[in-house]
Amino acid sequence: MSKRKKGPWYAIYRQVQPALDAYEGKDSINLLIQQLAAEHSYEPKVLSRMIRAGRFLDRLVGPLSPEDVRGGYAHVEYIQRLHELAPEEAQSLVGMAISKKVTLEALQSIIDKYADRIAQSDAGKRSKARSLVFEHERNAVMALTNCGTAFFGIEEGEIIHVERSDVLGQFFIIKDRHGQDNTAIFCRLGDTSRKAIKAAAELLKLAKTARSYFDKVWFVFPESSELVHELAFLSNEEKLFRSWLHLSTLISDGETFTLREVTSLRHALSRVLEDGADPFAWSGHYLNELKTPIHDSLVKRTYTFTVLHNEFTTKLITDMPTDSFKEFLDEVTTVDSAHDNGYVSFIKQSRTL
């Protein structure tokens, strides 16, 4: 509980403001507030609320004279909450709040009204998004049923709908006639709240994870998807497009759906020639006092391998770094390797072949 008040809250805020502005961070800000609170006979938590309310009020309407602020700091706190929901409404009511012409109950009612509107709007957006996802998955199931496993290069197989997987989420598995997990199929709609290229990068990560468990990975997108072209662009940059990573779109066939594989990279070509956008570009600054800006682009690491034969040995020479090469070979390899001048020789003696 606060001690006896020494004046209107805004007047106290203006009195402590010079000390706050002079704060240089040498001591704890909490210690400073405790000292100021003791000087003005307030609990530190109460003074902190006054300071936050005063600073918000100054930002909203500019510094005022203490005589102009007759409403309590709680009135300003309510205006701040309203400002987060409806800035224009808060701006229109701040005069009444500081004049104490509107009650806290009335302000709370207005806050609740706007909070309900936002909640309903968000719920409507989420409901619509879920509806679109459900519709896409339903159409995809129809297309998979119509096309069968033959579309994916497996003449005899079964399609399984995986409803839960902690690693890969919901997806489809194609088992071949031997019962082996051959292909993973992911149905994706796209996220309109993010750039397509960022969403595509996330899907490429998912594909690489799935590749650890399956020979092939497929994605199924809506027919008009922009995301499918961005993923094609990224996967082609890494030489994965139509290697083990395949993309397809739904095709409406009357009252049902089939699939069409994406085989063209025209979008990727136009992206480079026309858009000029480089998804691998980055910008930042050096960690120095000047924070000098820097711009560059991600470059994928590639290594060369050269095979040399002679009468007794076969050498595979590469410019891959030694540590990377060791990891590549694995610690338990029985093959001899030599490291010289930054190059690695992978040697097999002829008599051991």
pLDDT tens-place string over residues 279-322:
677 788 878 767 788 887 777 666 677 777 777 666 767 777 76
Residue 36 has pLDDT above 50, yes or no: yes
For residues 49 and 16, the answer to whether their CB atoms sit within 8 Å is no
In a shared domain, residues 317 and 277: no
Residue 158 belongs to some domain of the structure: yes
Give me the domain span that covers residue 325. Answer: 305-352
Residue 27 has pLDDT above 60, yes or no: yes
Q: How confident is the model at residue 174 (pLDDT cuts 50, 70, 90)?
A: very high
In a shared domain, residues 268 and 149: yes
Residue 193 belongs to some domain of the structure: yes
**pLDDT of 273:** 47
Chain segment 43-79, per-residue pLDDT in tens: 888 998 999 899 899 989 988 888 889 999 999 999 9
Residue 143 has pLDDT above 60, yes or no: yes
In a shared domain, residues 31 and 147: no
Summary mean pLDDT of the chain? 82
Dihedral over Cα of 55, 59, 62, 67: its sign: negative
The torsion region of residue 159 among left (phi > 0), alpha (psi -120 to 50) and beta comes to beta
- The total number of structural domains in the chain stands at 3
pTM for this one?
A: 0.53
Residue 2 belongs to some domain of the structure: no
In a shared domain, residues 51 and 151: no
In a shared domain, residues 266 and 332: no
Dihedral over Cα of 113, 117, 123, 127: its sign: positive
Q: Could you give the strand order of the β-sheet that contains 171-176, starting from the edge strand earlier in sequence? A: 157-162, 171-176, 181-187, 216-221, 245-253, 256-261
Contacts of 139 (CB under 8 A, 6+ apart): 250, 257
Residue 272: which CATH number? 3.40.1350
Residue 114 belongs to some domain of the structure: no
In a shared domain, residues 218 and 343: no
In a shared domain, residues 246 and 210: yes
For residues 209 and 167, the answer to whether their CB atoms sit within 8 Å is yes
Residue 33 belongs to some domain of the structure: yes
Q: Which residue's entry shows tokens 């979008």?
A: 267
**pLDDT of 317:** 73
Strands 216-221 and 336-340: unpaired
Which whole number is the average pLDDT over 95-103?
92
For residues 214 and 186, the answer to whether their CB atoms sit within 8 Å is no
In a shared domain, residues 143 and 210: yes
